[in-house]
Amino acid sequence: MNVTLVSGQTVGAGRYILNKQLGDNTMAWLAHDEIENKPVVLKFLPAELYQDPRGLEELRTQVGIAQDLSHPNVANIYELYEATGEDPFICLEYIEGMNLASLQTMQPNKVFNWTFLAPLLKQIFAALQFVHENRLVQGAIRPSSLMLDRSGQVKLLDVGIAGTLNNPLYGGPPTTGAGGLLRYLSPQQVDGGQPQTTDDIYSLGTTVYEFLTSTPPFHSGDILPQIRGTKPPTIEDRLAHLKISNRVPPIVSSIVMSCLSKEASARPQDVDTIARSLEFAEMSEPEPVRMIPARTAPAPQANVEYVDRETDIVVPSKWQGQSVASRGQSAPRKKSSIGILAVVAAVVVIGGAGAFFFVSRDSAPTDPAAIGESSSRTAENSALVETVPDGTPAIPIDTEKETADEIKTRRAAIEAAEIARLAARSDSGFQDIFNGRDLTGWTGESDVWSVRDGAITATLNADAKRVSSLVWDGGPLSDFELRVVFRFDPDEGAHRQSTVAVTYRGRKYNQFELRGYQYRMTRDGNNTGMLTSRDRLGMISYTQKTVVELFNSNDRIRKIADLEPLPVILAAIKKNDWNEAVIIAQGDQFVHKINGKVVADMTDSNEKRLAKSGLLALELMIDYKPYTVHFKDIRLKRLSK
């Protein structure tokens, strides 16, 4: 049919309401799912595809396989909708965040350094390994097909369908000239071959090559004959030709070039081979891609850049004084990918790259600039500190003279920096203890605990008479750091105080629950992050640094200092949205964080009752109303004593 689509139109038998087109792709729309009450992406099929029986059947098969897959680094595909009288479309998961192509364009010389890129590649490798193990390929990997979501995960888009949707036979890009997608296709694909695992390897190579050099291997002139018969320049040669300084470990260059081999058999045959080869591709802190001398100008000028001392990232001088750091703490002096991502993400928003979309489950998608009040008080990064390269005081922001757009943009920048802080957290030493697909490695009641959309989902009925636990099968833990991202489903009624817990250093109390230290989580945010124990009722830490002492055979709490005020902590918690809990247990020291805020800090000096090791579990507390909670991105790092 190819009926003209307009914003506000309903499609899919009234289930989806179109919101707006995404980017320059007239076939992709942001829409709202009226049944699931969430944003989704709808990709309408070109006429060349849905009028071709063979192509359409191929797409049905791919979507059928992809529908059953769930992985934290793969964007979900929900359905292929076909009905008489409507244009067919594919419904996909909507990712809140930024794509790596947009992020890359905001970097100096449009390159990532290896220290920045390596943690992201680990997630990309995990996604592709999972996809290939399930007999699918992505088919057209490129920077714009990789999204960084608000919880800090890379998401691979269009798994199983990209090859078909981008096939020139079905309305895809042409196979001549210097077209965008063509630059990432293998020689076998441009000659009409069906996408294979080795084609994904080739596309992955072109993407990493571009991340490190600013351009794909072939990017100008008539690309097709170059893809077929021209050997690409090495990464070092391309950087030298472009006069860009970007230190790349030699093993990285070697592996990337092997991915670009003309013959499929000469490339690495699986992603695991690449991941293992790059596992030890480490080096000392890379030199900055570009340095701009510190200047002593008395005031910032529009469109003039400076280098942030903490990150070596170039940002507009009109935003001097707006680096984000922890309230009440001095900014760390060591440069890291965390700081880099935070500033770059802020620049992406400031520069109007259009890479961010923030959507609540209860409303239509919102422009980043409209985040408003919530972003101005989000987590620790809402504190503005002054950092000027030459050490002179930054000129304070005159909010009375700021335009409304500037205020909105600044608030969006703060929110972007918080997203980037979560995204760039160091992966060193962490292991994923939840695979995003099933409950392998965990033990619990199957009628309570399940996996849905890449997250552990638990529902406790109102008539439940006891606690329900999901115990990690990894055995006793002593000293560790645990990170868990969680979210409660909204409550339709007035009840808000549903409670769950992460129990650690626990012991088996009965068949269904543990007893040990607990990190409490509640639907309304109150008491979230509290450190307590169900069989040590005198032991508690919340918004205070405390010591637990032995007193008359019981626990006595002694306050050492106050932490963040309760209103600040509650403002950092995103209700009905994903939040990150962090638990650090080392010896007799325990720290709990929520979205970067330290909410509990306790020393358990009661040697008679100190648990030095024990089991780990997620636990649902008894309630008089039913509730549902979700957990994902569960990562563990064992600490040395």
Q: What would the DSSP string read from start to end of 38-100?
A: EEEEEEEPPHHHHT-HHHHHHHHHHHHHHHT---TTB--EEEEE--TTS--EEEEE---EEEH
**Does residue 300 lie in a domain region?**
no
> Which has more pLDDT, 26 or 599?
599
Answer whether residue 400 shows pLDDT above 60: no
Residues 631 and 483 in one domain: yes
pLDDT of res. 98? 83
- 154 near 148, Cβ under 8 Å? yes
pLDDT band with cut points at 50, 70 and 90 for residue 492 = low
Separation of alpha carbons 513 and 503, rounded Å: 9
Give the domain-ending residue among 289, 316, 350. 289
According to DSSP H, which parts of 98-222 are helical? 100-105, 114-133, 162-165, 187-190, 197-213
What is the pTM (predicted TM-score) of this model? 0.50
Q: What is the pLDDT of residues 313-322, one digit of tens each?
A: 333 333 333 3
How many structural domains comprise the chain?
A: 4
Query: What does the block give as tokens for 581?
Result: 């809990």
Is 477 contained in some domain?
A: yes
pLDDT digits (tens, 9 = 90+) for 112-142: 888 888 888 988 998 898 889 888 888 889 9
In a domain, residue 294? The reply is: no
Banded model confidence at residue 404, pLDDT cuts 50, 70, 90: low
Do 117 and 252 lie in one domain? The reply is yes
pLDDT at residue 239 in the model: 93
Model confidence band, residue 626 (pLDDT cutoffs 50, 70, 90): confident
Structural contact between residues 29 and 42, judged by C-beta atoms closer than 8 angstroms? yes
pLDDT for res 441 = 94
418 and 436 part of one domain: no
Say how far apart CA 139 and CA 119 lie, in whole Å: 23
219 and 343 co-located in one domain: no
Q: Is the pLDDT confidence value at 438 over 70?
A: yes
252-299: pLDDT as tens digits = 888 999 999 999 988 888 888 888 888 666 543 333 333 333 333 333
| Cβ atoms within 10 Å, residue 445 | 13
Q: What is the mean pLDDT of residues 593-617?
A: 92
Q: Are residues 270 and 371 in the same domain?
A: no
Please give the average per-residue pLDDT across 109-114, as a whole number.
88
Residue 378 pLDDT: 34
pLDDT of residue 166: 65
Q: Could you tell me how many residues make up the chain?
A: 641
Per-residue pLDDT for 407 more than 50?
Answer: yes
Please report the pLDDT score of residue 44 as a whole number: 86
Q: Does pLDDT of 336 surpass 80?
A: no
The range of the structural domain enclosing residue 629 comes to 431-638
- Tell whether 168 and 89 lie within a shared domain: no
Q: Is 483 found in the same domain as 371?
A: no
Q: Are residues 444 and 587 in the same domain?
A: yes
| Confidence tier at 201 by pLDDT (50, 70, 90) | very high
Q: Is residue 591 part of a domain?
A: yes
Instruction: Give φ, ψ of 606 to 5 degrees.
Output: -85, 90
Q: Is the pLDDT of residue 506 over 90?
A: yes
> What value does the mean pLDDT of the chain take?
75
Q: Report residue 193's pLDDT band, with 50, 70 and 90 as the boundaries.
A: confident
Is the Cα torsion angle 385, 387, 393, 395 positive or negative in sign?
negative
Task: Give the end of a domain, one of 43, 66, 94.
Answer: 94
Q: Does 204 share its domain with 232?
A: yes
Same domain, 106 and 43: no
> How much is the pLDDT for 48?
74
Return d(Cα 282, Cα 114) in angstroms, integer.
8
For residues 188 and 249, state if they share a domain: yes
The closest of 121, 125, 130, 137 to 61, measured between CA atoms, is 137
